[in-house]
Structure 1
Amino acid sequence: MRTASVFLLAAALFAISCSHGTTASDPSLLQDFCVADKTSQVRVNGLACKDAKDVVVEDFYHSGLHLAGNITNKQGSAVTPVNVAQIGGLNTLGISLVRIDYAPSGLNPPHTHPRSTEILTVIEGSLLVGFVTSNPENKHFSKVLGKGDVFVFPKGLVHYQFNIGTTDVVAIAALSSQNPGVITIANAVFGSTPSIPDGILTKAFQVEKNTVDWMQAQF
């Protein structure tokens, strides 16, 4: 009897742990695809599925990634996304990609993707890339990449890319979400609406109020 009781207890604990593990991550696919119905008013964690009989091959296709982005801006970089907004067939598949163009000295500024790990490949040119681990270590990992080199930015960590060369750079990055999101640190801190109070920013960054005011004016 004791052996049976121990077995039942172990089985119950296993079932509970499996249940918690299942609910803690995205569920597995229950069909071949779930093409996004962008006209639906249903609000779910993702997009509602189009009726399968209305799905066409174009739902899995997008053209234009061969075109360079406009890099005539303050940062000297441009991100061209291919996510569920461009390809409805990506809905529920947990993947997307971007093309990133950089002018000489162009920067993709420090940012995070709250829902995604990123893997970046340099197509042309060279980039200085890096990311910073979480508190309290805040360890900075950085490396110079050349054509064909690949680098991974772990999910949620602050990272950046900088063109250290004298020619334009092109990179392609894949992301582990159909909608990875992006939080650019400087924009979020100094360009929020309404603004974060000066007193909070002066204390957080240990600077004078006029410095905070100047930084906010840039955004």
Structure 2
Amino acid sequence: MSCLPPVGLTLLRTPRLGDARGWFMETYSEIWAEAAGVRVRFVQDNQSFSAAEGTIRGLHYQRPPHPQAKLVRCVRGSIMDYAVDVRRGSPTYGRHVAVRLTADGGEQLFVPVGFAHGFITLEPDVEVAYKVSDVYAPDCDGGLVWNDPQIGIDWPLPPSGAVLSDRDRALPALADFHSPFEYDGRPMELLPPL
């Protein structure tokens, strides 16, 4: 019997080279990504802007035949980023991990296929950029409601409350979700930063 490694929810940090002008960093390299366990081909880059603090985007996934793994980073401001295990049969089904991503820190979170993903902005005027492993396919787009008590995310809401799209407010709860993702035998584990 072979022991599979934990599923690759991976927090990545790449060095910044600074001088009097500012800094430079390599945001993605197939070589260091593969060395960190990120072994997917990215085919599309996306970027979002959120004007208000407390903006929630998620919890989203894209089902087969166009499932998406994501490499997420905050390019302006800061977010709390969440990944929820939605792999049928997983011992951690419905559980989540949370990581703070900041433009100043340059952290990136790799979210594999089989996880719903979402984030909340921790300040105004936040931009998030992410790579995905398959193209956007509207017929495969799906999600779970952000405040599902079964998932139990403790969102750091500002006093003004959450800012959500009408679509995200109407997403189903985990109890009403029939996952298209199967557990592959790899447990969910957030790997330590590099």
TM-score (norm 1): 0.41
User: Could you say which structure has the greater relative contact order, defined with CA pairs below 8 angstroms and 6 or more residues apart?
Assistant: 2
Larger Rg: 1
TM-score (norm 2): 0.45
The structure richer in helix per residue is 1
The structure richer in strand per residue is 2
